[in-house]
Structure 1
Amino acid sequence: MLRIVKTKLGTVEGIPAADPRITAFKSIPFAKPPVGDLRFAPPQPAEPWEGVRECYKFPAIPVQPSPNRNPPPEDVYSREWSVDPDIPVSEDCLYLNIWTPAKNGNEKLPVYFWIFGGGWQVGHTAEMEFDGERIARRGIVVVTVNYRVNLFGFTCHPELTAEYPDKPANMGLQDQQAGLKWVYENIEAFGGDKENITIGGQSAGAGSVMFHIENEESRKYFKRAVVDSGLIYTPNMPDMFPKRSVKEAEQLGVEFFKFCGCNSLAEARNLTTDQLRQKWSEWGGYEKSIACWTPVFDEQFNKGSLIDVVKEGKCTPCPIFTGYTTDEFIFGGMHAVEMGVRKLMKEEENRGLNIQNYCYKFDVPIPGWDHPGKFHSVDLWFWFETLAKCWRPFKGVHYDVARQMCDYLCNFIKNGNPNGKDLCGEPLPEWTPFKTEKANFMEFTTYSALNEIPPSAEMKKYL
């Protein structure tokens, strides 16, 4: 197996996964630590190293609140994923992880580049559901990337703009792009094909993917995209995230620095990580943070909603694999992600684009004492086929559906079409590209079946 790999910056050593045919490389640096004078700055290229770097453990997670030791019953997300209250947290977090089934560096396997979600406030690559081994078993090189979140990843300030006039905002998105570029330049050494990279993400990770679809530089490095629970369209509802220009975000940065007792960027960089975490909490914690530090409209990484950008002819999307869970983001009786999926497909058709997109609906019954429904993010256990890591009493039928979902996903990653054979060599039920006239979704319940799901009467008003 491929255990030692020479990258362009140095040599790394991985470890066998649970399946020894897979090698996992954890904590490979793709940028300099964003500390000291690089706090709040765009990511800078990592420096070379001597000797063999042991890549055995996940990196520290990006700075965020530590997981809750005793989450209340209503806190489904802490119970589901944030289960290690002692996990290391550090600003030095710009590392990525790779799972490869390659025996040598000449195999040119398809690559899946994954971006975690969490409202651009929390999240990390060490979450249990993101173990890439099951996908790697299907002949794919899997990469998961850390990036800065909340104030560490999305602070703007006039002095920052003066330092970096070409890239003054969205450092967290720039981190992702830096990781993507590193993968493009190095993944062949791990047996991957740099010309066959699929970028994927869920929730804010899916939102990030859409920003990269709009970004000309990012588009150099991938062929297709997976957008899980990210296409949100709510015509009658307030925007979930604020729309700020760089200038407006700069003023917010000035206000927050003053709240911290700082009158300059240099003073803010001299604060300790713990001091900034405390001020973040005093400022209003997660609820206020999500209204402050999210992607800024900089016309580089954020040109607006992908739906609007496509409608205006400013972007031609790549093929997309996308969908939603039944019980997420329902406003005024309308499912915001379902509507977003339909709206994007419609705008592509209005422009005469003939892109092969595949859409799904996740409606698998989820067991547990909390009766959670098909809540936002629960499908991640299925796409990565990592149900065995979850506390929920999943049964055989859940494992069957997860295996099939993962098969579909991996087929799409390989060649842009989810159809083909499953892991056992049996043909999968046919999945046809989405067309508005048929409104065909692959519906995952206790089995998989392609169904026409017409939009509701209310949705039709906006399509």
Structure 2
Amino acid sequence: MQRGIEGRADTGFRDGQMVEKVEIEAACGRLVGQRRDGVVRFLGIPYGEAPVGERRYAAPFPRAPFAEPFEAFEYGAAAPQRSLLPAPLARLIGSHRHYSEDCLSLNVWTPEVTGNRPVLVFIHGGGFILGAGEQYPGDDLARRGDVVVVTMNYRLGLIGFNPFAELFPGDERFVANAGLLDQRLALRWVRDNVAAFGGDPDRVTIAGESAGSVSVAWHLVTEGSKPYYHRAIMQSGALNLFYGRERAREVASLLAGGMGLGDDRERLFTLTPRALHEAAAEAVTDHTGVISRPYVDGTELVAEAPGDLAVTAKPVPLLIGTNRDEFSFFIGLPLLPIEADKAALSGMVEHFSGRAAAERIAHLYEDDRKGRIAFGTDLIFRMPSIAFADAEAARGSPVYFYRLDWEAKGLLSRLGATHSVDLPLIFEDFLKPFRSAYLGVLPDGRRQLLAERMRRHWLSFVRDGRPDEGWPAYRTDQRLTMIFNETDAVVPDPEALQRMNWQGVDGFAI
């Protein structure tokens, strides 16, 4: 590891702001960043060789050190994915991104390139099919908390998450969970390089939301990732969203038959990402949610249920929680197809734990919109998160549990405290210019105070391994939970009735 030696090549103006070039020497080579508004940013740094050609579905390789100074001025390409907006409209409002299979890059924000600051590595969500690190600018958190912030891009969709290794065992061109291995390589890069950015490689917090939180859980329970972090934050996601290995093999068989693969595995290297997605969608029709998910591969993960994996997690300080109405996002928006009626939700429980458990749990929820939101939230998000927190707390790890009850005020207001509503409260510039969909267009002093409190807790955890004052540790004898809203409250075991009835229901996605 090498410390950065700051060099100022020249200054200028960009978007009306003074911009100063900053040059450092790191293990990956010489990099040039830009100081803007009190933060030095290094964008689009390649951490892995391009996963193209024969490497499309393979384990990632570290990027060779730069032979010439790398100008880290622009975000790298995001992984191929479906754009949520037509390209002309996206360009018009300034949210257009470049997509490429050569997508393994990361971004670093730091107050100064000298020093020894705590490091926050945030893994983006998006159901393993959408998203990019650039949606989570780290300027505000780096400045506010005097920390180094890192975000990354990783392979998505069937390129990053597929069961092809089950179809073609022994072919090193196919590896399970390539997108998660990309993330691990990025974490390794952070360990080896972050000191040059003023960061402390011995104080790294990994964090993520939704699929990013599921990813954090994977890093917590897989031996290969455990050397690269020291604290963890899980927002709205746990291990239950993996496929079990048998389900992965079923999906692999459906893909092979529906896509006409047979022994023609080479076709998988010639299909465009769009054609690959369309062919898979036609091949796998009996399915809820997205086809491309991580799965229990029998090597990195060997377990019959999420609970069996949770007890193997690295014992680190853990901040974990969910939003009150997570499932409304999936009922109200057609982004990810999920069966949302009560019968389908009960069927998932029955698959895991039998008819008696399904009937017992179904009685907790009314068969109306509010009841279905509560049922889906508990099934997919809250109860798995409580179970993960229980496992860590039982082993003596410092755990801090929360529930966010603050309701969206913009176009998403009918969804309540929905999935992802925490993100604009943590990241000042999250997904601009779409923030108003969550926050509304009018100033809201109480919401701003809530955001400031949450950021203070998150940054305190990154710095010291515990939130700010007033948030006690979670233990299984009390289950003290921080309820975030316009007025916060600490409540013991707020989901006690549901939690007790869900006890023992444990299974992977189907």
The TM-score bracket by the shorter chain reads: 0.7 to 0.9
1:41/1:160 contact within 8 Å kept: no
Deviations 1:309-341 (A, max 9, x none): 23xx54453221011111113864444233223
- The aligned counterpart of 1:375 is 418
1:440/1:453 contact within 8 Å kept: yes
The answer to whether 1:322 aligns with 2:320 is yes
The answer to whether 1:355 aligns with 2:400 is no
CA distance in 2, matches of 1:218, 1:459: 30
Q: CA deviation at 1:289?
A: 8.9
1:200/1:225 contact within 8 Å kept: yes
Q: Structure 1 residues 402 and 131 mapped into 2: Cα distance closer, same or farther (>3 Å)?
A: same
CA distance in 2, matches of 1:257, 1:301: 28
Q: Structure 1 residues 90 and 283 mapped into 2: Cα distance closer, same or farther (>3 Å)?
A: farther
Structure with a larger share of its residues in helix: 2
- Aligned identity (percent) is 29
2:318/2:398 contact within 8 Å kept: yes
Q: Structure 1 residues 57 and 282 mapped into 2: Cα distance closer, same or farther (>3 Å)?
A: farther
Q: CA deviation at 1:175?
A: 0.5
CA distance in 2, matches of 1:48, 1:268: 30
CA distance in 1, matches of 2:288, 2:99: 18
The answer to whether 1:398 aligns with 2:447 is yes
CA distance in 2, matches of 1:160, 1:284: 19
- The aligned counterpart of 2:65 is 48
The answer to whether 1:342 aligns with 2:342 is no
Letter in 1 for 2:121: F
Please give the secondary structure, in 2, of the residue aligned with 1:163. coil
Q: CA deviation at 1:102?
A: 1.8
Q: Structure 1 residues 446 and 406 mapped into 2: Cα distance closer, same or farther (>3 Å)?
A: same
- The aligned counterpart of 1:243 is 244
Q: CA deviation at 1:173?
A: 0.6
Stretch moving more, 384-393 or 293-302: 384-393
Q: Structure 1 residues 314 and 368 mapped into 2: Cα distance closer, same or farther (>3 Å)?
A: closer
Q: Structure 1 residues 9 and 314 mapped into 2: Cα distance closer, same or farther (>3 Å)?
A: closer
Please give the secondary structure, in 1, of the residue aligned with 2:169. helix
CA distance in 1, matches of 2:94, 2:306: 35
Matched ranges for 1:28-67 at <5 A: 28-67=45-84
2:214/2:241 contact within 8 Å kept: no
Matched ranges for 1:103-142 at <5 A: 103-104=113-114, 107-127=115-135, 130-137=136-143, 138-142=145-149
Question: What stretches of structure 1 of length at least 5 have no aligned partner?
Answer: 71-77, 233-238, 420-428
- The aligned counterpart of 2:256 is 254
Tell me the number of residue pairs that the alignment of Structure 1 and Structure 2 aligns: 425
Q: CA deviation at 1:283?
A: 5.0
1:242/1:292 contact within 8 Å kept: no
1:68/1:85 contact within 8 Å kept: no
- The aligned counterpart of 1:75 is none
CA distance in 2, matches of 1:191, 1:255: 52
Q: CA deviation at 1:295?
A: 0.8
CA distance in 1, matches of 2:217, 2:308: 12
CA distance in 1, matches of 2:409, 2:312: 44
Please give the secondary structure, in 1, of the residue aligned with 2:319. strand
1:110/1:193 contact within 8 Å kept: yes
Please give the secondary structure, in 2, of the residue aligned with 1:172. helix
Matched ranges for 1:27-426 at <5 A: 27-69=44-86, 86-104=96-114, 107-127=115-135, 130-137=136-143, 138-157=145-164, 161-164=169-172, 168-231=175-238, 242-245=243-246, 248=250, 250-252=252-254, 254-255=256-257, 257-258=259-260, 263-280=263-280, 290-304=289-303, 306-310=306-310, 313-329=311-327, 332=365, 333-334=374-375, 335-336=377-378, 337-348=381-392, 352-371=394-413, 372-386=415-429, 390-391=435-436, 392-393=440-441, 394-419=443-468
Letter in 2 for 1:414: R
Q: TM-score, normalised by structure 1?
A: 0.83
CA distance in 2, matches of 1:253, 1:45: 30
1:228/1:323 contact within 8 Å kept: yes
2:109/2:150 contact within 8 Å kept: yes
Question: What stretches of structure 2 of length at least 5 have no aligned partner?
Answer: 1-5, 8-21, 329-344, 346-364, 366-373, 504-510
Please give the secondary structure, in 1, of the residue aligned with 2:260. helix
CA distance in 1, matches of 2:113, 2:292: 42
1:151/1:289 contact within 8 Å kept: no
2:255/2:283 contact within 8 Å kept: no
CA distance in 2, matches of 1:148, 1:83: 26
Letter in 1 for 2:99: V
Q: Structure 1 residues 348 and 45 mapped into 2: Cα distance closer, same or farther (>3 Å)?
A: closer
Q: CA deviation at 1:194?
A: 0.6
Please give the secondary structure, in 2, of the residue aligned with 1:14. strand
2:320/2:389 contact within 8 Å kept: no
2:155/2:179 contact within 8 Å kept: yes
Q: CA deviation at 1:268?
A: 2.3
Letter in 2 for 1:344: F
Please give the secondary structure, in 2, of the residue aligned with 1:461. helix
Stretch moving more, 294-303 or 176-185: 294-303
Letter in 1 for 2:101: E
CA distance in 1, matches of 2:255, 2:412: 40
- The aligned counterpart of 1:16 is 35
Q: Structure 1 residues 85 and 197 mapped into 2: Cα distance closer, same or farther (>3 Å)?
A: closer
CA distance in 2, matches of 1:63, 1:292: 16
Q: CA deviation at 1:282?
A: 5.1
Q: CA deviation at 1:439?
A: 2.4
